[in-house]
Amino acid sequence: MSDEKTERALSEDLAKASGELLKISQLSAGLTLKLARRWELPDVDPLNLRRPLLAATWNTVRPPSRILAAQWDLARRYLALLKYLGLKAVGRGPAPAASPGKGDRRFRSEAWDEKLIFDLLKQVYLLVSGWMLDNVARMKEVAPEDRMRIAFYTRQFADALSPSNFVLTNPDVLATTREERGVNLLRGFRQLLEDLHQGDGQLQISMTDSSAFSVGRNIATTAGSVVFENDMMQLIQYAPRTKTAYTRPLLIVPPWINKFYILDLQPKNSFIRWAVERGYTVFVISWINPDETLRYKGFEDYMHEGILAALDAIEAATGQREVNTIGYCIGGTLLAATLAWMKAHDDQRIQSATFFTAQVDFADAGEIKVFIDDKQLKSLEKRMRAKGYLDGKDMALSFNMLRANDLIWSYVINNYLLGKKPARFDLLYWNSDSTRLPETMHQWYLKNLYLENRLVEPGGVTMDGVPIDLSTIDLPVYIQSSREDHIAPYPSVYKATQIYSGDVTFMLAGSGHIAGVINPPKAQKYGYWTNEALPADPEEWIAGAEQHEGSWWPHWDAWLRQHSGRRIAAREPGDGDLPIIEPAPGRYVRNER
């Protein structure tokens, strides 16, 4: 390259770096002010780890043989690594001493294997982190809940120390830094500051290009109308896409932890659009994003002003009293409690219930319980009392920590080290569109369900003065769970099969809490398992289950058709006694009143 070209290239790089530095200085000044306003003295043990750590330490050091066994185990692993290095030095192709687990994408780049130094870094890290987690698993004398908490935070610590997360130990980041002469790091630092600004001083990692999507424009576009609303929700009735429809309408009760349009992302993967095309008259509850004025709304208010109000509205809109229902996640938990409440009142308007990844027995609710104990709930109550609600960003961080490598560290590498913009992904746009939770409801939900697991006990909780007994639910039930669900683990969801007294169908989908549900037939992904037998042990159910390829949606459709009545002329929104208020998806999903 000529001196003139070299000088021009250096000048361009300097201009890029100067531009990034200017943006960084401007962002830093504003962020300093935000942090100063947010700063407060922290709780000395906000995660309530002191007792578990003391128990773990005592369990390890009390018998000296355990320390020796742990040391020998680590030495054995290093000896395996030395053997690998020796064989590789003489030109052999040995199997690695440590390899990433299934689904671990941190080291998928070939650059980790091309140079010995990066291969060595990767294997040493995997050896030591695996040894740490194995030691926690061997702490049999530590209470199971304490062992789970120690394992969770040990994994968080190990994940944070992965060589993939640092500039000098990630070959892909090093190559990019050399190629861009470090401008990628400046760009990444600027994006870090932008994310801190977006979170008002709390890091809110950008997972997707939010400018690529807009609710009602290219997300949540299935045609329909809002036909009813109250303080808690808007009810959407979708326009038919067939000339005839089943007699019984279908009411979908989504979670209020997120927005309803996870079921209506884009036409290619919209469950709502697909259901409408099957001939169902679909109604969906769009929950309000609550502010401090709704702080006293409780779980039973979601029943009265949500499900029960929707049933009244559907009858007015269609003239049909009997409906089928779907409850997703916490929406399914609410639906189950509502069904028991309706049974006590001899209210038979709901003729079938489908549950998507919904728990009612929370004894084995998974690692999310590491955030839920008496001390942490008191700390959470204090934070909510100041605002009247739990900020959605706090809940999102807890869920993301359950899969930190996929939902935190991969974006740290992409956004802040490589300096790239996150990809455009509709599901992650929805995931970032978090909602708030009313103080009263959330306190009740965490304490009575997650902490004390009282919903599963007959009469353990009351709804509007009625003792709730889930075993009285005797209508047809279809339960969907996902095999890799980290929020509602399938063994926990499966417990409901042993509670309801009616005809129960359980289906296990591939993938996780979201992708396991949003799996359109055209995608031909993941697969699912079915088994008519319902033994008490979910592993026994799986052992006897039949595996199927593709989406489970047609399997559910075949089940629901049996409970949907005859076909009649399709109904349009506004045909009945409820006038159209506004086009779908409505104001509430846009955080407007």
Question: 10 Å Cβ neighbour count for 146?
Answer: 19
Is the Cα torsion angle 117, 120, 126, 131 positive or negative in sign?
A: negative
Contact 248, 565 (CB under 8 A): yes
Helix axes 144-160, 50-61, angle to 10 degrees: 90
In 3D space, the residue among 380, 433, 449, 401 whose CA is nearest the CA of residue 254 turns out to be 433
- Pairwise CA distance, residues 282 & 534, whole Å: 30
3-state secondary structure of 552: coil
Contact 482, 397 (CB under 8 A): no
Rg of the chain over all Cα atoms, to the nearest angstrom: 27
3-state secondary structure of 138: coil
Length of the chain: 593
3-state secondary structure of 352: strand
Query: How many Cα atoms sit within 13 Å of 170 on the Cβ side?
Result: 22
| The one catalytic residue among 245, 263, 276, 329 | 329
Backbone angles phi, psi at 539, to 5 degrees: -70, -35
E strands, 220-343, in order: 224-229, 233-238, 244-246, 250-253, 282-287, 323-328
Backbone angles phi, psi at 341, to 5 degrees: -65, -45
Tell me whether residue 514 is one of the annotated catalytic residues: no
3-state secondary structure of 49: coil
- Pairwise CA distance, residues 574 & 318, whole Å: 9
- Pairwise CA distance, residues 92 & 87, whole Å: 5
Backbone angles phi, psi at 226, to 5 degrees: -80, 125
In 3D space, the residue among 151, 146, 194, 202 whose CA is nearest the CA of residue 395 turns out to be 202
Question: Strands 282-287, 250-253: parallel, antiparallel or unpaired by DSSP?
Answer: parallel
Is the Cα torsion angle 458, 460, 461, 464 positive or negative in sign?
A: positive
- Pairwise CA distance, residues 13 & 89, whole Å: 40
| Buried b or exposed e, range 485-520, using 16+ CB within 10 angstroms | bbbbbbbbbbbbbebbeeebbbbbbbbbbbbbbbbb
- The enclosing H or E element of 242 equals none
Please give the span between the terminal C-alpha atoms of the chain, in angstroms, as a whole number: 62
Catalytic residues: 329
